[in-house]
Chains A and B, each alone.
Chain A
Amino acid sequence: MGRTTTRRLLVARVARAVGLLALAFVILWFPAAAPNPYILSAAVMVLNYAVLATSWNFVGGFTGYISLGHGALAGLGGYATGLLITKAGFSSFVALATAALVVAALAVPLGFAALRARGASFVIVSIALVLILLLVFQGWASLTGGSRGLVVPRPFPDLLRPEHHEVFYFLFAALLGLVLLSWWLVDRSRFGLGLKAIREDEDKAESLGIPTFAYKLVVFVVSALFTALAGGLYALWFGDLDPVFQFSILSGSYVVLMSLLGGVRHLFGPLLGAVVVGVALEYFKVAYGDTPLHLVASGLLLGVVVMFMPDGVIPTVAGLARRFLHPPEASIREVSAAELEEARR
């Protein structure tokens, strides 16, 4: 290895450390700088989206299986938390942890059915999950409150609203840190390599001795666990659950849009996408109210991302930067099946 390469690696490592510190600083400093409680509550929403998108990316990014049903897993976490508090008398955060474990346990049979077949069936099951849960939670009004909604008691009843937002901002930020750390650890592990092999070619991965079904199931359950934690935390923060919003394909598709926009192969891709799309969504709500045009805007954005930059913003920009800054390198690196196909043409 030449001296320039070593130096470049060092520079990259320092740059990464500085970037991480800057990111952590911005996240922790934001509540102090937020001009009013509304902005802070919007920031809590964005952090919630970031946790959901990063959790989704355990399945979507590593294995390439796209789930439109993660909104429902979050809703399930929220309802489980709320019901454990109101019906079983659990204290708020015990209920949150229990709810997440319950959802993770439910994800085992669910993943078992969804992952037996390849991609198309998985997507269809994820959509079916949303629709069936919507039916159940609307229909079973005696337990869930049905369309009237479920009121979740606040965990800190004596806090004022701005302070309440601030506490939950930090709770969501901590959860985001935990999810990002877990993703990073999986990404570096042998387990993560196996998952990525599934993404590139499931048959070849299997023939190399990777227990593909078990790997997919484990990562799906991990993803469901974090998604349910985010949903439960949202329930504690927002205090009111309505089946129509908790079990909507739209919320699941926002999470997919965020992850794809940022870049599913990158640790911070979903976070970046969540900031962009989350801020846009909140802005749209304020500027245009509740018009059906937000559907049109989301549809257009999703279509453009999928058609023109399915790898997301980070790889697109990084690719451009690399082309200008460095000549092509001839070292061993991670190559996707799609890139190989491109190169062969």
Chain B
Amino acid sequence: MSSGLLLQSIVLGVLLGGLYALLAAGLTLYFGIMRVVMIAHSAFLILAAYLAWYLHVQAGIDPMLSLVLTVPLFFIAGVAMQRLLLARLRPETRTMMSVLVTFAIALLIEGLLSYLFTGTQRRINLAYGAASLELFGARIAVVKLIAFGLAAAALGALYLLLAKTRFGWALRATMQHAEAARLVGIETDKVAAYGFGIGLATAAVGGTALALDSTIYPSLHWHWIGPLMAIIVVGGLGSIPGAAVAAMLLGLAESMLQIPFGTTWAQTVFYIVLFATLAFRPQGFFGGRLAQRF
């Protein structure tokens, strides 16, 4: 293995890990807010990618500009989903039933996408799509850097929102202890709904980043949901920093293992680490009180 190839796979791994981290942060938000496992997260990711592709093909809009449309749209969809579906499930069985409801939504999205756009693989052809940078012997496509920048910016914004704003404090309080949060005057229902909207908005950003440099097709979301689920369990359910670290490490591992083993076998690293984590440290590596109970 040449050092250039090694460096290239490290850089690609970090870039991929950034996208994983953003998406896993969304999943962690849902879980933290109301113990919901959101299977449809990656289906919304693909939906956003399709919207970006469609706007580009039909109107010639740059995928980055489609964010202006998809982010608010997904925020509203997230709030609606929380209010109309997930909040109405019985609290005792909510975790299990949320899996099924969001699974149903994922099927709906996949079915409608393949009905409208067929199963054909789609790709956005950008003027700068083929451009690449040379860094210490590693060739990195510009679109991958843009996608990473998008993911990093969104993750940074999410961090600032949670750490520095009153709404962020309210959201974190709701995640830690909803009843106590209500007692100090936080409107947890509203906060939970907005938190859900923010989670889904991360899928919109991720989808645009995905559309920039990948080929998309309706059933692609199954390839994303497995790794993402593994990441949030390994990181510790409900811990956003844990999810981000796990995403980076596993993204890097996948990218490095692709060289000796090929893409198919490299993906198994997520599941092997998932099984190992659950067998030896079921609460994950950064999980607190929350993770142990679920």
Contact = CB atoms under 8 A, between A and B. Distances in A.
Interface of A: 64-66, 68, 109, 112-114, 116-121, 123-125, 127-129, 131-132, 135-136, 138-139, 249-250, 253, 256, 260, 291-300, 302-303, 306-307, 310, 337-338, 341
13 contacts: A116-B282, A117-B283, A124-B274, A125-B274, A125-B278, A132-B226, A139-B264, A253-B103, A291-B115, A302-B100, A306-B100, A307-B85, A310-B93
B265 interface: yes
B55 to A, nearest CB: 22
B206 interface: no
Contacts, number: 152
Given A297-B111, A298-B107, A338-B90, 7 more contacts: A117-B294, A124-B37, A128-B270, A250-B107, A292-B111, A306-B101, A307-B89
B108 A299 contact: yes
A124 B233 contact: yes
A306 B222 contact: no
Given A292-B111, A307-B85, A121 B104 contact: no
Contact of A293 (B111, B278, B283): B111
B104 A128 contact: no
B108 A66 contact: no
A139 B105 contact: no
Interface residues of B, number: 57
A116 to B, nearest CB: 4
Which of B97, B111, B262, B279: most chain A Cβ within 10 A?
A: B111
Given A292-B115, A306-B100, A121 B268 contact: no
B95 A128 contact: no
A310 B104 CA distance: 14
B223 to A, nearest CB: 8
Contacts of B225: 127
Nearest to A299: B107
B85 A135 contact: no
Contact of A66 (B100, B237, B265): B100
B99 A123 contact: yes
A338 B93 contact: yes
B31 interface: yes
B95 A127 contact: no
Contacts of A119: 95-96, 294
B104 A131 contact: no
A66 B99 contact: yes
A39 to B, nearest CB: 27
B92 interface: yes
A120 B92 contact: no
A135 B264 contact: yes
A341 B292 CA distance: 25
Interface string B253-284: 00000000010110110111011001100110
A21 B227 CA distance: 49
A338 B45 CA distance: 34
Contacts of A299: 103-108, 111
